[in-house]
């Protein structure tokens, strides 16, 4: 699916035309590719996006990795050059794509929400239902979740309703945090690492959401003249909320979407949480993409000349693996880079909002389908 009707096209290019490719070390991606291989073999292939690429078409390349993992940067680059053909994703208006960053927050919690630990993380409630195309009401076209009420499917209570106690006392609390802003930003990221008073760690990952559309509070504050559009970031939003505690409810409730979580073990501190592709995220090498267009498990090369703080002052130019998605990640040349876990990763992710060129790597065996 490319061309005028789709709003983008693919232009065949070469690895020699990828800015920064000779300096990149994509060897970390093989760990993610092998994890994807395990997932699709043991569970099921990933759903194909509208671009038409399928898991079956990249499976032989995963199997080549399994047969012998390339070692070192040079051999790793050579592997990609032998197996893939890069294509530049060109938007119809020749505009640049957009890259942002996300991370896994670490939040101090108590297993029992009480005392100062008053802001809960909730499991998926039993009255939340999935809505399919077959039963979606005409006035809920954008909803994937809802509830049954008086025999009809209706919207689920939103962030304000839940903050004001809709789910209280149902035994759905995973843990309680001190700071509701920490909980809110864990919702935005879709995952968190919880640190308990005894020092133990537990992960929580996305399980479902209330179904309401995501509304960015950064955009709200920019529109209200509270934050300059040129400097808006997670850090500037947090600072504004700290200065204006009397408006926290109003601003957070602007985003009606509410996220529910499930518990997960922390098996490897070097890896991120298990995300939408059902494999752990690779810090600095995982990309959230629009899954309506793209298929999980495919590599992308992203070049963002003005993004320099992730690579010690050098323009960002890296191979990444599509392993996640997000409600704000919409469009063929739109991506979200996973920067890692904890506060330092949050500092990196919070200021990423840069124009970028996106190259999708298509297996050579099917590249002809996308033009010469």
Listed residues 210, 239, 264: the one ending a domain? 264
Residues 42 and 143 in one domain: no
User: CATH number, domain at 188?
Assistant: 2.40.240.50
Residues 250 and 327 in one domain: no
Residues 92 and 175 in one domain: no
**Residue 308: predicted pLDDT:** 97
328: containing domain:
4-102+270-370
Kindly report the average pLDDT of the chain as a whole number: 94
2-13 pLDDT, tens per residue? 544 478 999 999
228-283 pLDDT, tens per residue? 998 888 999 999 999 999 999 999 999 999 999 999 888 888 999 999 999 999 99
Q: How confident is the model at residue 371 (pLDDT cuts 50, 70, 90)?
A: confident
Residues 67 and 108 in one domain: no
User: CATH number, domain at 57?
Assistant: 2.40.40.10
Mean pLDDT of 141-170: 95
Residue 127 pLDDT exceeds 90:
yes
Residues 223 and 115 in one domain: yes
Residues 151 and 219 in one domain: yes
Residue 1 pLDDT exceeds 50:
no
Residues 347 and 256 in one domain: no
**Residue 176: predicted pLDDT:** 97
Listed residues 264, 297, 320: the one ending a domain? 264
Residues 127 and 81 in one domain: no
Residue 309 pLDDT exceeds 70:
yes
Residues 85 and 159 in one domain: no
Residues 155 and 25 in one domain: no
Residues 82 and 112 in one domain: no
**Residue 181: predicted pLDDT:** 97
**Residue 4: predicted pLDDT:** 47
Single pTM value for the model:
0.86
Mean pLDDT of 156-164: 98
Residue 170 pLDDT exceeds 50:
yes
**Residue 326: predicted pLDDT:** 85
User: By percentage, how much of the chain surpasses pLDDT 90?
Assistant: 88
3-state SS string over the chain? CCEHHHCEEEEECCHHHCCCHHHCCHHHHHHHHHHHHHHHHHCCCCCCCCCCCCHHHHHHHHHHHHHCCCCHHHHHHHHHHHHEEEEEEEECCCCCEEEEEEEECEEEEECCCCCCCCEEEEECCCCCEECCCCCCCHHHCCCCEEEEECCEEECCCCHHHHHCCCCCCCCCEEEEECCHHHHHHHHHHCEEEEECCCCCEEEEEEEEECCCCCCCHHHHHHHCCCCCCCCCCHHHHHHHHHHCHHHHHHHHCCCCCCEEEEEECCCCCCCCCECCCCCECCCCCEEECCCCCCCCCCEEEEEECCCCCCCCCCCEEEEEEEEECCCCCCCCCEEEEEEEECHHHHHHHCCCEEEEEEEEEEEHHHHHHHCC
Residues 152 and 198 in one domain: yes
Listed residues 212, 238, 264: the one ending a domain? 264
Total domain count, the chain:
2
């Amino acid at each position: 699916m490319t061309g005028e009707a789709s709003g983008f096209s693919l232009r065949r290019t070469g690895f020699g035309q990828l800015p920064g490719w000779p300096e990149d070390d994509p060897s970390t991606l093989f760990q993610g590719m092998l994890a994807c291989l395990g997932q699709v073999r043991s569970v099921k292939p990933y759903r194909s996006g509208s671009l038409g690429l399928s898991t079956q078409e990249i499976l032989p390349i995963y199997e080549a990795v399994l047969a012998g993992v390339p070692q070192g940067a040079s051999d790793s680059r050579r592997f990609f050059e032998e197996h893939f053909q890069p294509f530049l994703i060109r938007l119809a208006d020749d505009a640049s794509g957009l890259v942002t960053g996300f991370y896994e927050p670490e939040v101090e919690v108590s297993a029992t929400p009480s005392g100062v630990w008053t802001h809960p993380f909730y499991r998926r409630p039993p009255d939340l239902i999935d809505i399919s195309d077959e039963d979606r009401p005409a006035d809920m076209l954008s909803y994937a979740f809802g509830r049954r009420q008086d025999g009809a499917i209706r919207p689920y209570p939103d962030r304000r309703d839940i903050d004001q106690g809709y789910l209280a006392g149902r035994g759905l609390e995973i843990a309680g945090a001190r700071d509701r802003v920490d909980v809110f930003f864990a919702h935005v990221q879709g995952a968190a690492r919880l640190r308990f008073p005894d020092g133990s760690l537990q992960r929580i990952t996305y399980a479902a959401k209330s179904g309401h559309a995501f509304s960015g509070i950064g955009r709200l504050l920019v529109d209200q003249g509270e934050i300059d559009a040129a400097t808006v970031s997670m850090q500037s939003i947090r600072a504004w909320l700290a200065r204006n505690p009397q408006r926290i409810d109003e601003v957070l409730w602007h985003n009606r979407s509410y996220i529910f979580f499930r518990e997960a073990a922390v098996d490897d501190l070097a890896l991120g949480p298990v995300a939408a592709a059902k494999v752990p995220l690779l810090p600095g090498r995982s990309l959230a993409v629009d899954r309506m267009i793209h298929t999980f498990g495919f590599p992308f090369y992203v070049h963002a000349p003005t993004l320099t703080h992730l690579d010690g002052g050098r323009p960002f130019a890296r191979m990444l693996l599509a392993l996640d998605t997000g409600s704000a990640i919409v469009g063929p040349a739109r991506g979200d880079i996973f920067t890692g876990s904890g506060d330092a990763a949050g500092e990196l992710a919070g200021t990423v909002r840069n124009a970028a060129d996106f190259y999708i790597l298509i297996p050579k065996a099917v590249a002809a389908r996308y033009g010469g």
